[in-house]
């Protein structure tokens, strides 16, 4: 069949509008990047070491991030959000995470798991009641999937939500919940009908203070120590039917779909941690002297920096591509998983090298890189371990 000129032109326009990814940031994205960078330097950096030491939640910082619109970045302005794209969100996550991953994880969970989950799949009433407050940072949310015996294997959870007509009765324990004690709204994934497997699972919105809902002990963690991680206990908690997100049995797919977006947030966090460590190492190596010259003049150090920079650039391309896929309405399960898998490895490798470049000083808290190294590890674990990302990626490529 002969392709007419007209068809060819249309195909080119279509390709450029929908398939061409331009890595140049828009003026608006550059302004958002600068705002996040300034905020990180002025508001997150002071006291970051002390908060990490004391495992102190960044309450003031989170309040200010809410005022700046960072907690509901992609939410429609009619629900109080900033109405921005996912690329802008990734940029903000990167900038905040360069300095303080304990604060940026609050942004990630609130934006991608809680706000997105309710905006994409909730009812109008749920949006009016919860999203409007979550998007402005008046309250923050938590996403509760993991259990003591079900982390990666998400369908084998034991928390039950028994259907009692107008309400569900929730029983069970959730583990490692980010924003565990500071959240006001919790999205809880629970089993309603075990016989139906993943189709018997529901996602319920539970409010703090509900009778029978208890916040368990706080975890004493290796990294992101300022973030507030708890177990949660549900003991005959009554949850009204109108708090279910989506149709009966949609809970597992809800969790999977929401986590696909969450993985872009964590990939951006990993990218930020890596970039923060790289920038500190570069600066240090231009100042520190050994054998009569700055250590950056030694090839052993210069080559490490070259590797770090290259890996960070590659990770950034994957992260922006996943964010762009989401903005364009493309499937982002695969690109989000690839971005998280790779960026989290780069975060780990880069922070270890940054500590090495700092030598003895790298082992000391005031130089920041040891904290970045500890913070990097969680990006290979939460919102799906690296091994889970490989399951998602391999299934994605093999089915095509």
Task: Give the catalytic positions in this structure.
Answer: 383
If the CB atoms of residues 94 and 353 are measured against ligand CAA, the closer one turns out to be: 94
Q: How far apart are CA 371 and CA 227, in angstroms?
A: 13
If the CB atoms of residues 33 and 155 are measured against ligand CAA, the closer one turns out to be: 155
Residues in contact with ligand CAA by CB under 6 A are 109, 143, 145-146, 152, 154-155, 177-178, 198, 252-253, 256-257, 259-260, 333, 382-384, 388, 391-392
Q: How far is the CB of 13 from ligand CAA (least distance, A)?
A: 31
What do you get for the CA distance between the two ends of the chain, in Å?
27
Q: How far apart are CA 319 and CA 340, in angstroms?
A: 8
Burial state string for 304-335 with b = 16 or more CB within 10 A and e = fewer than 16: bbeebeebbeebbebbbbbbbbbbeeeebbbb
Cα separations in angstroms, 195 against 155, 191, 210, 249, 251: 12, 10, 28, 12, 15
Q: How far is the CB of 97 from ligand CAA (least distance, A)?
A: 14
Q: How far apart are CA 250 and CA 258, in angstroms?
A: 12
Q: How far apart are CA 152 and CA 156, in angstroms?
A: 9
- Given a contact cutoff of 8 angstroms between Cβ atoms, the answer to whether 105 and 265 are in contact is no
Q: How far is the CB of 295 from ligand CAA (least distance, A)?
A: 37
- Given a contact cutoff of 8 angstroms between Cβ atoms, the answer to whether 389 and 340 are in contact is yes
Q: How far apart are CA 394 and CA 388, in angstroms?
A: 10
If the CB atoms of residues 69 and 384 are measured against ligand CAA, the closer one turns out to be: 384
List beta partners, residue 172. Answer: 234
Q: How far is the CB of 117 from ligand CAA (least distance, A)?
A: 11
- Given a contact cutoff of 8 angstroms between Cβ atoms, the answer to whether 174 and 168 are in contact is no
Q: How far is the CB of 304 from ligand CAA (least distance, A)?
A: 31
Q: How far is the CB of 44 from ligand CAA (least distance, A)?
A: 19
244: DSSP letter:
B
If the CB atoms of residues 260 and 335 are measured against ligand CAA, the closer one turns out to be: 260
If the CB atoms of residues 72 and 384 are measured against ligand CAA, the closer one turns out to be: 384
If the CB atoms of residues 93 and 301 are measured against ligand CAA, the closer one turns out to be: 93
Which of 397, 390, 383 lies closest to 152 in space, CA to CA? 383
- Given a contact cutoff of 8 angstroms between Cβ atoms, the answer to whether 273 and 98 are in contact is yes
If the CB atoms of residues 325 and 353 are measured against ligand CAA, the closer one turns out to be: 325
Q: How far is the CB of 129 from ligand CAA (least distance, A)?
A: 22
List beta partners, residue 167. Answer: 240
User: Which residue shows structure tokens 């290796």?
Assistant: 222
Backbone angles phi, psi at 237, to 5 degrees: -85, 125
If the CB atoms of residues 319 and 392 are measured against ligand CAA, the closer one turns out to be: 392
Q: How far is the CB of 139 from ligand CAA (least distance, A)?
A: 16
- Given a contact cutoff of 8 angstroms between Cβ atoms, the answer to whether 340 and 263 are in contact is yes
Count of H-run helices and E-run strands, the chain: 14, 9
**E-strand stretches of 37-85:** none
């Amino acid at each position: 069949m002969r392709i007419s000129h007209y068809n060819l032109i249309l195909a080119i326009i279509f390709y450029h509008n929908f398939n061409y990814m331009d890595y140049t940031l828009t003026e608006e994205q550059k302004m958002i990047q600068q705002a996040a960078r300034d905020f990180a330097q002025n508001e997150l950096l002071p006291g970051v070491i002390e908060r990490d030491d004391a495992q102190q939640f960044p309450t003031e910082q989170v309040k200010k991030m809410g005022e700046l619109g960072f907690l509901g970045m992609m939410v429609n302005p009619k629900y109080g959000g900033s109405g921005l794209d996912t690329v802008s969100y990734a940029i903000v996550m990167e900038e905040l995470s360069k300095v303080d991953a304990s604060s940026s994880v609050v942004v990630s969970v609130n934006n991608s798991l809680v706000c997105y989950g309710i905006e994409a799949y909730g009812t109008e009433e749920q949006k009016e009641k919860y999203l409007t407050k979550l998007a402005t940072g008046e309250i923050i949310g938590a996403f509760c999937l993991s259990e003591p015996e079900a982390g990666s294997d998400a369908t084998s959870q034991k928390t039950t939500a028994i259907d009692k007509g107008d309400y569900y009765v929730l029983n069970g324990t959730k583990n490692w919940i980010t924003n565990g004690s500071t959240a006001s709204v919790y999205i809880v994934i629970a089993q309603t009908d075990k016989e139906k497997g993943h189709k018997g699972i529901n996602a319920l919105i539970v409010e703090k203070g509900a009778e029978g809902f208890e916040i368990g002990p706080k975890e004493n963690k290796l990294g992101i120590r300022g973030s507030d991680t708890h177990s949660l206990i549900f003991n005959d908690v009554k949850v009204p039917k109108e708090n279910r997100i989506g149709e009966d049995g949609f809970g597992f797919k809800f969790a999977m779909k929401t986590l696909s977006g969450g993985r872009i947030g964590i990939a951006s966090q990993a990218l930020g941690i890596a970039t923060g460590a790289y920038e500190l190492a570069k600066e240090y190596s231009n100042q520190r002297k050994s054998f009569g010259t700055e250590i950056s003049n030694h090839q052993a150090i210069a080559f490490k920096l070259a590797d770090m920079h290259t890996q960070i650039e590659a990770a950034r391309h994957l992260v922006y591509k996943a964010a762009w896929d989401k903005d364009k309405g493309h499937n982002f399960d695969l690109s989000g998983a690839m971005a998280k898998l790779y960026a989290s490895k780069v975060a780990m490798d880069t922070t270890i090298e940054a500590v090495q470049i700092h030598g003895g000083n790298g082992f000391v808290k005031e130089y920041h890189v040891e904290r970045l190294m500890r913070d990097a590890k969680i990006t290979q674990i939460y919102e799906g371990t690296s091994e889970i990302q490989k399951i998602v990626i391999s299934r994605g490529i093999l089915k095509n």
